[in-house]
Amino acid sequence: MKRIVIDASVLVKLYIDEAGSDRAAYKIKNSQELLAPDLLWPEVGNILWKYVRRKEFDVITAKQMLSDMLLMPIELTDTSDLISQALEIAAENDRSVYDSLYLATAIKADAIFLTADMRLVNSLANTSLTKFVQAL
């Protein structure tokens, strides 16, 4: 896997030991380029907030993880460059615009969108988008 678009569900697995963490680390290590829409950071922040809210770790730990993640070599695409295509993808496939932004990024970059969201992967199984998405 050379160029991959990652979502927050994959990135967080590099820093929090949970199901799929080993696969996420392997796939990212073996990629040549990491991509994401700039929506990635608000989504990562929201995931970390949920861990803090559940008292699985404190806000200082969450902020340190976020600081480390921000150092990752991820090429971001401005969502304003993707939003029109994402809206079309969302409408045609009954997916959220948020998920569709990652798909639009993959299409634009001729890359694979890697996600831990099996519901999303399964929903695209028999569509023209299946070649752009891969389950972690």
pLDDT digits (tens, 9 = 90+) for 57-83: 999 999 999 999 999 999 999 999 999
Taking the alpha carbons of 115, 82, 77, 1 in that order, is the dihedral positive or negative? positive
Per-residue pLDDT at 24: 95
pLDDT digits (tens, 9 = 90+) for 13-49: 999 999 999 999 999 999 999 999 999 999 999 999 9
Q: With pLDDT > 70 as the criterion, what percentage of the chain qualifies? A: 99
Residue 1 has pLDDT above 80, yes or no: no
Structural domains of the chain, with CATH = 3-135 (3.40.50.1010)
List the Cα angle 36/41/46 in 5-degree steps: 130
Per-residue pLDDT at 119: 93
Contact 104, 98 (CB under 8 A): no
> What are the distances in angstroms from CA 19 to CA 22, 70, 94, 104, 116?
8, 22, 27, 26, 9
Taking the alpha carbons of 49, 104, 81, 75 in that order, is the dihedral positive or negative? positive
